[in-house]
Amino acid sequence: MKKIIIAIAAMMASQMAGAQSLDKMQWFNEPEQWTIDDGRLSMTVTPHSDYWRVSHYGFTVDDAPFLYATYGGEFEAKVKVSGNYRTRFDQAGMMLRIDHENYIKAGIEYVDGKCNLSVVVTHKTSDWSVITLEQAVPYVWIKAIRRLDAVEVFYSFDDIHYTMMRNAWMQDNTPMQVGMMAACPDGEGFEASFESFEVKHLPDARRTEWLERNAD
């Protein structure tokens, strides 16, 4: 019986949800110009928009485009991101958001003439970590895995080899908005696109452990 339970859990973990239907997702701060074509989201990013809370700069903004769906429990999400970044702080990537005080955004951010792999983690105040790329890349894959009270964030240039760039606390057992975000704090907008967005459900780790302990 125990082997059967473990096998079922493994099968559930391996099932991919497939690319999500972007047409059924919701906008927060819908941009003026955007299209969805064959599973690809393209947008002209709203000028002078961003997500940030208080720290270092002393202001709070919550007005950049974000297309999302809401997920409970544990999951793995990933998306392919590209953009014609040109102005300081132009950025595009994935966002995981509980509310306006608790969110993670991760992707590419353009600073001082270079593209950076960037993660912002916000719990009432925001922090920021970057990995500078020596040359621009045409796209990057961002993957986030939510397990218990943590979110691991990874990047890849080929959707095969992934490297973790952040492990951040995020309240568990709380629904989360997951999707595609882009911001243009200093500029007049730029073009960003997102492909192959998908979310895979992961069995609840605590329940799986309970099943293993209590199997006959």
CA atoms within 13 A of residue 109's CA, in its CB half-sphere = 22
What pLDDT was estimated at residue 12?
44
Q: What is the average per-residue pLDDT within 106-120?
A: 97
Give the separation between CA 42 and CA 21, rounded to whole angstroms.
14
Helix (H) or strand (E) segment spanning residue 193: strand 191-202
What pLDDT was estimated at residue 155?
98
Give the separation between CA 191 and CA 182, rounded to whole angstroms.
9
Domains of the chain: residue spans and CATH: 2-214 (2.60.120.200)
Give the separation between CA 164 and CA 153, rounded to whole angstroms.
6
Closest to 132 (Cα-Cα) out of 157, 109, 104, 105? 109
Q: What is the average per-residue pLDDT within 18-40?
A: 92
Mean pLDDT of the chain: 92
Based on its alpha-carbon atoms, the radius of gyration of the chain, rounded to whole angstroms, reads: 18
pLDDT at 52 over 50: yes
* β partners of residue 176: 71
pLDDT tens-digit map of 146-167: 999 999 999 999 999 999 999 9
What pLDDT was estimated at residue 15?
41
Give the separation between CA 90 and CA 184, rounded to whole angstroms.
5
